[in-house]
Amino acid sequence: MSKAFTKESDGDDDDEVGLPPLPPGGKNYITPQGFERLKTELLDLIDNERPRIVEIVHWAASNGDRSENGDYLYGKKRLREIDRRIRFLTKRLEIAEVVDPSVHAGSEQIYFGATVTYVDDEGEERTITIMGIDEADSARQQVSWIAPVSRALLKARVGDEVALPTPAGVRTLEVLEVTYPEPGSAAG
């Protein structure tokens, strides 16, 4: 069968490939800065990137034979990727619950948005910031609020010991310090 007669899948089943799903019935917590970053990305895709690619595809289509036209084929593929990302961002922003962690500034209890320093039962000290699943970046020591370590630490206070179940067994974490961004500061 000729490739011209095969249909590419454009179903919604791959809209969130590689991205963590929301917990069933859970909320999509996000910091104000994370919400703005996603909104900015969405608007850039709609206002700049998509129209630019549409123009390229239109130009390439006007050149005649589309079957071996790289600009046309790549452009159509890129448009599908952009449209998929636009759908994903739109869905996530619609259900986002913006939580400002600075309201807890000065608190010693761990809530969403906290930067937590803890030591594990092997004496290794770590510092993480608990963020939304759409904004957490492990390279910046940011952990999603649904991650096991975050769930173990949430609601604990400085000096508390919490149990973290792992495949290798239960680990004990002791909370050493909890900080939040100051009100009005641009964190993230």
Is the backbone of residue 65 left (phi > 0), alpha (psi -120 to 50) or beta? beta
CATH number for the domain formed by residue range(s) 100-177: 3.10.50.30
**What whole-number distance in Å separates Cα of residue 142 and Cα of residue 130?**
6
From first to last of its 188 residues, the chain has per-residue pLDDT tens of 444 444 444 444 444 444 455 566 667 899 999 999 999 999 999 999 999 999 988 888 888 777 777 888 899 999 999 999 999 999 999 989 999 999 998 889 999 999 999 999 899 999 999 999 999 998 999 999 999 999 999 999 999 999 999 898 899 999 999 999 988 755 54
pTM of the model: 0.75
Q: Which CATH architecture has domain 26-96?
A: Orthogonal Bundle (1.10)
User: Dihedrals φ, ψ of 32, to 5°?
Assistant: -55, -40
Residue with tokens 């000065």: 106
Instruction: Please say whether the dihedral angle defined by the alpha carbons of residues 69, 72, 76 and 77, taken in this order, is positive or negative.
Output: positive
- List the chain domain ranges: 26-96, 100-177
Lookup: tokens for 184: 């009005």
